[in-house]
Amino acid sequence: MPPCDTGLMQLQEILYSQGFGTRRVCAGLIQQGLVQVYAHDSGDKPSVCKEAAAEFEATGLRFKVQGSDWPFFEKAYVLLNKPAGTECSQKPSTYPSIYTLLPSPLRLRPQKAAVQGVQAVGRLDQDTTGMLLLTDDGKFIHRMSSPRHHVPKVYEVTVKHPLDDSQVQKLLNGVVLDDDPQAVKAAACEAVSPFHLRLTLTEGKYHQVKRMVAAVSNRVEALHRSQIGGLRLPQDLPPGQWRWLSAQDLASIAT
């Protein structure tokens, strides 16, 4: 995680900042003996703390709440391997929300804005799978979403009809979509196999991959995002699972 200078915080404030409920709920969890804290020098031996006002150095702190380990992060940055049949919406219309795949503290982290918890950095269609970033850092969301920063995103595309060199070249040269007179180009494009296209984009328009492929007289049958910036989707992260992003991960995304 990026460094932060949080300093000493009361334990109930630490839990509150991490999304474990209101300050009163967090104080109750502590007073009931449901919170254990790992001292910075104690290795793997957490101890119960029943004092809600007890102060700890928040940076680097680890603790357990009702038996579940949790690290303190001033801002949350996570990676989700999005499964098919899920919507990137807090209020889905047809399919389950991706937010149901996350633990409640991530969904309830307090924010100054009206929304709570981590938010998806961009969206993937309900039938699109793969790499999705979520955070409660508004500046990070803006930086990643801004077309000025040209963060490359790599998609593995299964197409209906066999690919040929002319289709790949058209995608590299630029195709015109129905709502934009300016041609949209792929930053990189290769036919991995006759029905597998690897496409790299640096902007995010509505249904962009599907519309670009349709513009070269083909059709997307399956779509998977495998990489953002220099960070690839880990092969050992199953669909529907998430993990924290490290400082190294965040640095690689920006490269």
Percent of the chain with pLDDT over 70: 96
Is pLDDT larger for residue 143 or for residue 198?
A: 198
Q: Which residue has the tokens 């700890």?
A: 56
Q: For 152-228, which CATH superfamily applies?
A: Alpha-L RNA-binding motif (3.30.70.1560)
Q: What is the mean pLDDT of residues 187-205?
A: 94
CB 20 within 8 A of CB 65: yes
Point out the residues that are catalytic.
125
pLDDT tens string 109-163: 998 777 789 999 999 999 999 999 999 999 999 888 877 778 999 999 999 999 9
Specify the range with the lowest mean pLDDT, choosing from 19-28, 69-78, 144-153, 223-232. Answer: 144-153
- Tell me the pTM: 0.91
pLDDT at 3: 44
At 2 the pLDDT is 47
Q: Which DSSP string corresponds to 157-216?
A: EEESS---HHHHHHHHH-EEETTEEEEE--SEEEEEETTEEEEEESS--TTHHHHHHHHT
**Domain boundaries 8-71, corresponding CATH code:** 3.10.290.10
Asked if the model's pLDDT at residue 241 lies above 60, the reply is: yes
Mean pLDDT of 32-57: 90
Which of 204, 209, 233, 235 is CA-nearest to residue 222?
Answer: 209
Is 80 exceeded by the pLDDT of residue 41?
no
Decide if pLDDT at 1 tops 50: no
- Per residue in 209-219, pLDDT (tens digit) is 999 999 999 99
pLDDT at res. 113: 72
Do domains 77-147+236-253 and 152-228 share one topology? The answer is: yes
Whether CATH 3.30.70.580 fits 77-147+236-253: yes
Give the model's confidence band at 6: pLDDT under 50 very low, under 70 low, under 90 confident, else very high: low
Contact of 29 with 55, CB cutoff 8 Å: no
pLDDT at residue 37, as a whole number: 96
- Residue 43 — pLDDT band, cuts 50, 70, 90? low
SS3 for 215? helix
Question: Which pLDDT value is given to residue 205?
Answer: 83
206 or 188: whose pLDDT is higher? 188
pLDDT at 7: 80
Q: Where are the domains of the chain?
A: 8-71, 77-147+236-253, 152-228
Does residue 33 carry a pLDDT above 60? yes
Computed over its alpha carbons, how large is the radius of gyration of the chain? 22
Instruction: Give the lowest-confidence range in 9-18, 42-51, 89-98, 231-240.
Output: 42-51
pLDDT of residue 146: 77
